[in-house]
Amino acid sequence: MAEVRVERTGDGFQAVNARGAKVAIGDGDTEGVFTPVELLLAALGGCELVTVEPLTAQRGHRMARLAARVQADKVATSTLGTITVTYDVELPEGDDKAADVLKAVAERVHEKYCTVGNALRKPMRVEQVV
């Protein structure tokens, strides 16, 4: 089970996990915080990268740089359009197969193995208890 606690603080909101990590949450006008939509995008990008990295490394192709930009436009009030994940990669020097391995692994992760991506693509129930 995955779980976080989101709570109001003296100067905004924060998410806290059981391991003590904290992320500041606020609106788009507040410095030093993530908006909830930014956290959603970060979750998708993070899910893909933390899954892709060990799989490419296990195959002997550790990327010199592995990053991603995740973007989405609001197409209506409270509605996002297409989310685009754009990889920013520096291939390992002298590794002629790294690009093909990265492409194959990243495609499989995107389509099948990223839990966050799967949750965004497939309908699921979200319940609220007040």
Mean pLDDT of all residues in 42-51: 98
- Assign residue 84 the CATH number of its domain: 3.30.300.20
pLDDT tens per residue, range 62-103: 999 999 999 999 999 999 999 999 999 999 999 999 999 999
* Band of pLDDT at residue 123, cut at 50, 70 and 90: confident
Predicted TM-score of the model (pTM)? 0.93
Whether 109 and 120 map to the same domain: the answer is yes
What's the domain range around 116? 35-129
111 and 74 part of one domain: yes
d(CA 61, CA 95): 7
Same domain, 64 and 90: yes
Q: How many domains does one find in the chain? A: 2
Read off the pLDDT of each residue in 21-43 and give the average, rounded to a whole number: 96
Q: Are residues 79 and 114 in the same domain?
A: yes
